[in-house]
Structure formats: C-alpha cells, structure tokens
Structure 1
Amino acid sequence: MKPGVVSLVVISDIVRPRLLLRPPAQVSERQRELQKAIKEVDDCGLTIKVEHRPFLLHPTMEEDQVIDRATFYREKFGEEKLKQIKQMVTSRAEDVGVEIRFDGQLCQTIRAHRLLRKAFEVGGQELQEKVQDVLFYTYFTEGKDVSDLEYLTDLADTAGVLTKDQALEFFKSDEYRTEVEHMANEARKKGVTGVPFTIINGKWAVSGGQTSDVYTQDGNIAYISDVGADILKPLFIVGCTITGLSFFLSSAIERTLRHQGRLVANMRRRERILASLAVFFAFVGMCGLILLSIFDTKRFTKQHRVFLLVFIVGVGMSAIFTVIEYRWLSHDFVELRKLKTLYIVKGIIAAILIILAIAFAITLFEAIDPGEWTISFGFTFYLLTFFFDLRMSKGVHKGELSRERLLAMQQNGQSIAATREANQGNGAMPGGHPDQVHGYGNGNGAGTNEYGNGAGTNGYAPGTAGVAGDAQMSHANGPATFGNGNAPIAHPANTHAANGASVGYP
C-alpha cells in the first residue's frame, strides 16, 4: 500500500501560549497535542510533513521595542478576565509538564520568525521544530526576550542552524525579513485572526490550540463533503438536491421532447430502451447524491461511501446509455451536426468521469487525498450539455420531428434541416401537420384554410377539386364552386349558391 502524504501548515506566533509545547530536553509521553495526533496515526501508513509559518500578533511594535508582559495583559484583559486566563493556561500547561510564567518582556517576533525560516531551509521540519520548541519553552517558562540578538545568536549556534558569526551576519541582513512579513500579511488577508491556525493539505483548517482528537477525528480523514457535515449541512443537502433533480429532470424532459416530436425521435426500439435506461439511472444517481448529503461522512462514514458509489454508478451508467443512444441517432441523421457534436462531447466527459471514478475507487483507502472532488466538476460539465440538448427544441412544433414524420421524410429523400427551413420560410404555424396549417404547404392532402395542391376547406386549390361537394367554399380552376367560368353546383355543401343554379364569372 502506497503511503499517503499529509501536509500540515501551522501558522503561529512565539508569544502566543499555544499549549502545544514540551520542554526541549524532556522525553515524555506527554507530547504536544499536534505531535500526539501525528503519533496516533502512525499505523495508517501516512507521512506527515509539518511547516511552521509566521504570524505577528503585534505587527505595529518596533523590532527592538519591549513591553512589560504583566502590565500589557492587565491593561488588555482586566484583572478578572486575566485571572481566568491564567487559570486555564496554567491547567493546560501542567498537563504537558511545564510551568508557565506571566512576567518577562513582550516583544516583536520578526527576528525569531526569521530564524525559524532559516532553520527550515537548513534542516527542514525537524530542525525548525527543534528551534521553535526552545523559543516557546524559554519564552513562557523563563521569561526570555525572544527578540534579543545575543539570545537568538546563541540559539542558532546551539541548535546547529548557524555559527554565532554567521547568525550575527544573518540578523544584520534582511534575509527572510520580507518573506516573514509577507507570510504574516497573507495569513491576515485570508482571514486568520487567531493562532495557532493549522491548514491540512491546503484544504481543511483547524483553528486554535486543539487537543489531539480534533486533529485525528478517530482516524477518519475528511473528504470534500465534510463541508456539509456540520453547520453547513442544510445548505449542502439543498445544493445536492437541486443538482440531483436538475440532472434527472434534464434527462427526463429531453426524452419527453423526443417522444413529442420536438427533438429528433428515437427511430428504433433499441434506442427507446436505451433512453429509458438512461432516465432510470439518472434517477438512481439523483437519489445517491441526495442520500450522501444526508448521511454525511462524519457521522455515517460507511453509508456515505455507499451512496457516493450509488451516485457515481448512476451517473456513469446513465452517461453510457445516453452516449450510445446519441451515437445511433447521429448515425441516422448525419446532417444534424449538433447531434454528433453533443454525443462526442458527452462521450469525452463520460469517459473522463469513468476513469476518475475507477482511480478514486482504487485510491480510496490508499491515499489521504484521492481527489474525489474532481468528479463533481466533471459531473457539472456533463450536466451543462443537457442545456444544448434542450435548446435544439426551440422553435420546433409538436410532432414536427415525430417518428412517423421522420420516416416519411426519409422515404421521400428529404432532409430534416431543409424541410424545417422550407416550412419556416413558408410561414408554417402551429396547429397540426406542417402541410395542414394556415400557410403555403407543400403537401397533397386536404387542409384547413390552406393553399394546397388538393381540395381544401376555404382554400384556393389550383387543380383537382372537380366535385364541389368535396369542398366547402372552394375556389378552383376547374369545375368547382366559384370557378373561373360557369360551374354547376353539384351538391349543396354550405355554399353561396342554390340547387341547380349556375354561379360563375363570365
């Protein structure tokens, strides 16, 4: 099993009693809380990388300025609140075997943070933590001034970061000064107001000096849906429900429009079966998405993963059936380029989603961050393709692209695009068959108020209306009511002539 790598960025300041310290020379089971958390997950096969970054609790103080710590705390908190803070801090300090002092000097910590950055450069995580342990310990238990140059140069030499001479040159220069100030400012811009502030893998944050169980959460590493496991859970459920319903309804409405003849109809039974399966699995995917939001990963880890699998399988199967269906449709109607484009786009997205799903399933128990969140982005793009599906029904009347109509056009060698263009150009309006509307149709059948090549009610039919009784008030160029010449009224059919009368235009 390939071990996972967890990156921890701890943002803190030296003058903040984080209560995560231990005496630097003391080997004890009472480890710092963060170190305890790391030790608790040793059997998970994880590699923990820790980097400490600066935060300036007193950014306006001058670099050489010092303030009496007891006076500062008293003025800031007041006697009563300061007493409560001392009790809490003292109690937590005793738990890790140290004695906290509240006297000494409060100072600016830029120099100390510069030394920590240098230690990280020279010896990485191990050396940086070694130097930081000493800084914390001497500041809180001995009341040391951690901005004092002599103290810092001795520490750099003792810890093995730099020699005394090198340390003096380092502090005289501006090395790491700009970086420390930039990191501290960036932390404030990102909303960090209290320290310590721990960022896990660049995604999840733990604010404040927490106990080890907060970091481990019983050994469960958080997934992206953890954002909906606590206070944001109602919003998470609503978002998943809207997304799931949008997916299912888009799939169902698209097939309904095909059935109504407003989108290219499925010509074969196999395509109709595929369409039904695609809608069914879209429903399954919707249910999986909604249920995984209800059964969050924090409280219902196993159920959450089951419904996550249901969601992925539902979307994947629906996508596969949809792509095959579109492939056959585009083969039948080559002239519809949009249809071919949509099936290709859907196929590419579906293939990527399936590959990601397989990779996610393989790495689920091996990697701390398998990247399952990328599937949600891919699903969003797949969902957007339905917008273009539904948009193709714009301006198409019911029955215009029905199966029967498409078969007739195929038999006559007509193009869908050309026929639609002709109908729209001739003023076709809704109300029935394209050749049976209030326009200039191209058909040979009877029609209401039509200018057609056959008999029609209240229509001008230049041709074959030889029996006036077959048409009501029909104007024809032959023997018909109101013809161009003397035309007998053959049958009383609600015309403007009496039986036996001859009505015509000389």
Structure 2
Amino acid sequence: MLGASYWVVPIFSSIVWIAMLVTMLVYWAATGKPIYSTMSEGQHIPYISDIGASNLKPMFIAMSAVTVVTFSLAFVFERWLRHKGRLVANTSKWQKIYSVCATVTAIIGAAGLILLTVFDAKRHNQLHDAFLGVFIIAYIISAIFICWEYQRLGVHYREHSILRISFWIKLFFIIAEIGLAIAFGICSRQHIWNVAAVLEWVVAFIYCLYVFSFFIDFLPATRTRRHQSKQTKMQMMEEGGQPGRSHMGDGAADNPHYYRGNSQMAVPQTNGTNGYSNRYTNGNGCTNGNGYTNGNSNGYVSHTADGYPKPVDEPAPLPSRNF
C-alpha cells in the first residue's frame, strides 16, 4: 500500500461502520418499527443486536468484521510508520510498549465484536452479552494505551500540534465511552430498556468518531512522503544536469555545495596562481613570471627559431625537493 494511502484505512473503516448503523435504523423504521422477539417487555427502541439478529444478520456480521479488521490494520500501520520514521519516533521503550498493548487489545476487541455478531442475542444470549463486554472493555483499554503513548509523544514533540489534537480526541472517547458504558449497565439492570438502547446507539456512533480520529494520525506520514519526494527531486536537479558544472574524475560533482568547511577548495586551482610555492622548476630552469616556480616539467627544454617550444627526447627525472 502506498504511503499516501494509509489515511484511507480509518476513513474506510468508519464509513463502513456508520453505514451499517444507519442502514439498520432505516430498515427498522421502514419495516414499521417492529417489536423483535429479543426485545423485553415495554421496550420500544431496539438494541443494535436486536436488529442484527433479524434478517440483517449477514450484513451485521460482514460489515462489523470489515470495520474492525481494517481498524486493527490502522494500529499496525501506525506502529510500522513510527518504526520507519515516517511518523515521529518513540522516545522511550515504554512508548513502544504502550503502542503494542494498544494494538493487541484492539485485536481482542475486534474478535469480541465479530463473535458477538455471530452468536446473536436471539440464539446465544449469554455468549452474546459476554462478547459485548469483551468488545467494549478491550477497546477502552486500547484507547487508554494509545492515549498514553500520544501524551508522552506530545511532551517530547511540542512543536507537533497534531499529536495534541489526536490525544484530546482519544481522551474524549475514553471518558465518554466509560461514562456511557456505566450508564448503559445501570439502565439495563434497572430494566430501563429504552434508555439503555439509546445509550448503546450513542456508544456505537462515538466509536465511529474514535476510528475516524486515526485519520489525523496518518497525515504527517503523507506530508513527510511528499516533502521527501520534493527534496529528492530538487537534489537530483541540483547535483546533475545543470549547465556550467564540471565533474571530477571520480564522478562527484565539482560544486561548491560539496566543499563544506573549506571555502578555498571550492575555487578551481590554477598553476602559478594558487598562492602556494611549487616544488619544482620547469625544465628550462626558468621560473614563472609571478615569482612562483612551475609545478612540474612541461616537457620542453628550449624554443625553436620560430619561438615555439621544443620537446625534449627523454626528460630527465626531477630531483626531489622534499625536506
């Protein structure tokens, strides 16, 4: 999957989840708001599982599975991108442990949701309630761990405001879900079925907001990829293909950009003008006109009558002047 597409995962997951919830509500209303066999006496608003145990059970299983599987992938991708440096790196081993714990508990919560859709409230009521508890508790614990990680990251990377935004969204999810889950449990025990059903639907829609919040987490990975691509392109244009630039024999660009810390190295060196005394006189015993000796023998010892230099047959080796 391309780096720029990671943010699609939480968006797709949240869209599938909210589409499932809306479809179930519309179906219940369009069929005349029936009272299902799984509903208690005096209950007029169905639970999600009441509708899911009816004719919409195949859709309930399929769309729930797609939602939690793709959402679990979001945890895995977040861990992988942070490990690869596409997201800000963890600054301690504990932050990595928080991330791994969040991923594991999210997978447990995903398994709980899939199992509660398979073991519906109509045929397997006790198993259904048990898996419902696993689903809610596991995702709350997962949110606590991921929120803990982001809080520590926000302390070390104060310049990244996106970490704080993601942290507050996840913290809101934790507080809201815990409060609503407690209220749901109390209403269920007190047999206030309609209020409990409304609370369950609210919990489900807030869960969608939590899933969507991971879209924000992947934005830095997209920007980093584009920034690196732009920088790489600019560097390639700068290092090669520009007119007026020569290359040294080893293939490195003869560019002042590569001479760091020694500005003199960036200046092409010419014989007799580099400010350094050459070690050898030229073959005819003459020095250069600027007071510096020639760097080595030119291969000529005299001039012809026309004024052109005359090559020597076998140039004698120059004596060493190394002291």
Instruction: Name the TM tier (shorter chain).
Output: 0.5 to 0.7
User: Aligned-pair distance for 1:457?
Assistant: 5.2
Tell me whether 1:458 sits opposite 2:240 in the alignment.
no
Tell me whether 1:396 sits opposite 2:224 in the alignment.
yes
Matches within 5 A, 1:188-267: 204-206=33-35, 223-267=47-91
- Name the residue aligned to 2:266: 477
User: Aligned-pair distance for 1:230?
Assistant: 2.4
**CA 313–331 in structure 1, closer or farther in 2 if over 3 Å, else same:** same
How far apart, CA to CA, are the structure 2 residues paired with 1:297 and 1:248? 25
Matches within 5 A, 1:179-194: none
How far apart, CA to CA, are the structure 1 residues paired with 2:297 and 2:134? 79
User: Contact conserved, 2:116 with 2:127, CA < 8 A, in 1?
Assistant: yes
How far apart, CA to CA, are the structure 1 residues paired with 2:211 and 2:84? 22
How far apart, CA to CA, are the structure 1 residues paired with 2:259 and 2:30? 81
Tell me whether 1:368 sits opposite 2:193 in the alignment.
yes
User: Contact conserved, 2:37 with 2:122, CA < 8 A, in 1?
Assistant: no
User: Contact conserved, 1:448 with 1:457, CA < 8 A, in 2?
Assistant: no
**CA 389–191 in structure 1, closer or farther in 2 if over 3 Å, else same:** closer
How far apart, CA to CA, are the structure 2 residues paired with 1:463 and 1:334? 32
User: Contact conserved, 1:223 with 1:297, CA < 8 A, in 2?
Assistant: no
How far apart, CA to CA, are the structure 2 residues paired with 1:323 and 1:484? 60
- Name the residue aligned to 1:429: 232
User: Aligned-pair distance for 1:350?
Assistant: 1.8
User: Contact conserved, 1:448 with 1:458, CA < 8 A, in 2?
Assistant: no
Which of these residues, 312, 317, 341, is aligned with residue 141 of structure 2?
317
User: Aligned-pair distance for 1:373?
Assistant: 1.8
How far apart, CA to CA, are the structure 1 residues paired with 2:231 and 2:38? 69
Alpha-carbon RMSD across the aligned residues, in angstroms, is: 3.6
**CA 323–257 in structure 1, closer or farther in 2 if over 3 Å, else same:** same
- Name the residue aligned to 2:290: none
1:413-432, CA deviations, whole angstroms, 9 ceiling, x for partnerless residues?
xxxxxxx7xx88xx5218xx
User: Aligned-pair distance for 1:484?
Assistant: 3.2
How far apart, CA to CA, are the structure 2 residues paired with 1:393 and 1:382? 19
How far apart, CA to CA, are the structure 2 residues paired with 1:307 and 1:457? 65
More helix by share: 2
User: Aligned-pair distance for 1:191?
Assistant: 5.7
- Name the residue aligned to 2:123: 299
Task: Name the SS for the 2:34 alignment partner.
Answer: strand
Structure of greater relative contact order (alpha carbons < 8 Å, 6+ residues apart): 2
Which of these residues, 78, 93, 97, is aligned with residue 273 of structure 1?
97
1:175-204, CA deviations, whole angstroms, 9 ceiling, x for partnerless residues?
xxxxxxxxxxxxxxx768xxxx7xxxxxx4
- Name the residue aligned to 2:205: 377
Match for 1:429: what amino acid? T
1:94-137, CA deviations, whole angstroms, 9 ceiling, x for partnerless residues?
xxxxxxxxxxxxxxxxxxxxxxxxxxxxxxxxxxxxxxxxxxxx
Task: Name the SS for the 2:82 alignment partner.
Answer: helix
Specify every segment of 5 or more residues in structure 2 that has no aligned partner in the other structure, as ranges.
1-28, 275-295, 299-323
User: Paired residues, what number?
Assistant: 231
Task: Name the SS for the 1:372 alignment partner.
Answer: helix
How far apart, CA to CA, are the structure 1 residues paired with 2:237 and 2:113? 49
**CA 216–227 in structure 1, closer or farther in 2 if over 3 Å, else same:** closer
**CA 215–300 in structure 1, closer or farther in 2 if over 3 Å, else same:** closer
Match for 1:244: what amino acid? V
Match for 1:428: what amino acid? Q
Task: Name the SS for the 2:54 alignment partner.
Answer: coil
Task: Name the SS for the 1:485 alignment partner.
Answer: coil
User: Contact conserved, 1:228 with 1:296, CA < 8 A, in 2?
Assistant: yes
Specify every segment of 5 or more residues in structure 1 that has no aligned partner in the other structure, as ranges.
1-189, 198-203, 207-213, 399-419, 441-446, 467-474, 488-499
More strand by share: 1
**CA 439–476 in structure 1, closer or farther in 2 if over 3 Å, else same:** farther
How far apart, CA to CA, are the structure 1 residues paired with 2:85 and 2:64? 32
User: Aligned-pair distance for 1:279?
Assistant: 0.4
How far apart, CA to CA, are the structure 2 residues paired with 1:319 and 1:342? 11
How far apart, CA to CA, are the structure 1 residues paired with 2:208 and 2:270? 70
User: Contact conserved, 1:429 with 1:438, CA < 8 A, in 2?
Assistant: yes
TM-score between both structures, scaled by the size of structure 1: 0.41
User: Aligned-pair distance for 1:246?
Assistant: 2.4
**CA 485–251 in structure 1, closer or farther in 2 if over 3 Å, else same:** same
User: Aligned-pair distance for 1:362?
Assistant: 2.6
Task: Name the SS for the 1:306 alignment partner.
Answer: helix
How far apart, CA to CA, are the structure 2 residues paired with 1:191 and 1:315? 32
Aligned-pair identity in percent equals 30
How far apart, CA to CA, are the structure 1 residues paired with 2:240 and 2:106? 43
Task: Name the SS for the 1:276 alignment partner.
Answer: helix
**CA 373–501 in structure 1, closer or farther in 2 if over 3 Å, else same:** farther
- Name the residue aligned to 1:331: 155
TM-score between both structures, scaled by the size of structure 2: 0.62
1:228-283, CA deviations, whole angstroms, 9 ceiling, x for partnerless residues?
21221111101110111122111111111111100111110110000000101110
Match for 1:368: what amino acid? W
**CA 278–191 in structure 1, closer or farther in 2 if over 3 Å, else same:** closer
Q: Which has the larger radius of gyration?
A: 1
